[in-house]
Amino acid sequence: MDGLQVPLDHVLLLAAALFSCGLMGLMLRRNIIFMLMSLEVMLNSAALAFVAAGAAWGQADGQIIFLIILSVAAAEVAVGLSLVLQIQRRFRTLDMDQANRLRG
């Protein structure tokens, strides 16, 4: 089945909007879980932009980059969540504003 012909700027606009949402969530939430979730949103939006670009050119490169982004997201989530577990054990809270021992 063939794909659609959609104006590229619309897709990229969607990606931009998703990115902004993710950024707002990162700045807004204090819970580390939600922050990681916002990161996933931002990664997802970047992936969307790449796939759309690949579709615009009709080449496989966009999907390949998407695959790489996916690997990165997976590794990052794995490590990040294990860090969350450690934070929970040490600080007894998931509030990231409490974890400020690196302040200057």
18 binds other proteins (CB under 8 A): yes
What x-and-dash track marks residues 40-79 binding other proteins by CB under 8 A? xx--x--xx--xx-xxxxxxxxxxx-xxx-xxxxxxxxxx
What phi, psi does 31 have (nearest 5°)?
Answer: -75, 130
Closest approach of Cβ 72 to other proteins, in Å? Answer: 7
Scan residues 85-104 and list those touching other proteins (CB under 8 A): 85-86, 88-90, 94-97, 99-104
How does DSSP classify residue 98? T
Closest approach of Cβ 83 to other proteins, in Å? Answer: 6
Q: Total binding residues for other proteins by CB under 8 A? A: 87
Rounded CA-CA distance 7/10 in Å is: 6
Judged by DSSP in three states, 95 sits in strand
Asked if 79 and 36 touch (Cβ cutoff 8 Å), the reply is no
Closest approach of Cβ 53 to other proteins, in Å? Answer: 9
Judged by DSSP in three states, 59 sits in coil
